[in-house]
Amino acid sequence: MRGAEAGGHKTELIILTKLKISPCTSCGSCQKSGKCIIDDDMQLMHKKLLEADCIVVASPIYFCGVSAQLKSFIDRCQTLWSRKYVLHEALISPDRGKRSGYFISTAGSKDYNEVFEGAIYGVKAIFSTLNIEYSGELLFKDMEYKGDILKHPDAMRMAFEMGSSL
């Protein structure tokens, strides 16, 4: 975020654990009306997702996937998927400029090279639904405990450079 801010971009940190986001119940309402019947913070998040020029998704890896909070957030974007692919609505104006998206993740495993693959597929899928180009990633293995990222001497520099490249 500091890199993006240094480049003059407005940023907002959204911490999913501080939001009220219920899981998708697969009721199918969004496929008929384009609206989710669950009344929680996702309505505001849908608006933010559609307005943002760039989105950076960050999550630790658990069993080759994103955190439960991020997975629930992505699943609740089924409403946007339904609007785009079932109801054939344009989520984003065709004349809008390129939107970019990045994925930052850590995993405890140091020897399992495929540990990020499942998470990357999921993030790419939601970005595609939102007309966001998957523009880059920062992936760090052998990060089992809180604070382990501090042992990676280039991590903060790499994140700053990613932000300033927007």
Instruction: Name the amino acid, one letter, at 66.
Output: V
3-class DSSP state of 94: coil
Domain range list for the chain: 1-6+58-93+118-166
Q: How many CB atoms lie within 10 A of CB 96?
A: 11
- pLDDT tens column, 83-133: 999 999 999 988 888 999 999 999 998 888 899 999 999 999 999 999 999
What is the C-alpha to C-alpha distance for residues 130 and 127, in angstroms, rounded to an integer? 5
Phi/psi at 101 (5° precision): -140, 145
Q: How buried is 13 (Cβ within 10 angstroms: 0-12 exposed, 13-18 middle, 19+ buried)?
A: exposed
Number of C-beta neighbours around residue 41 at 10 A: 16
pTM: 0.90
Digit-coded pLDDT (tens) for 14-57: 999 999 999 999 999 999 999 999 999 999 999 999 999 999 99
Residue pair 130/50 in contact (Cβ under 8 Å)? The answer is yes
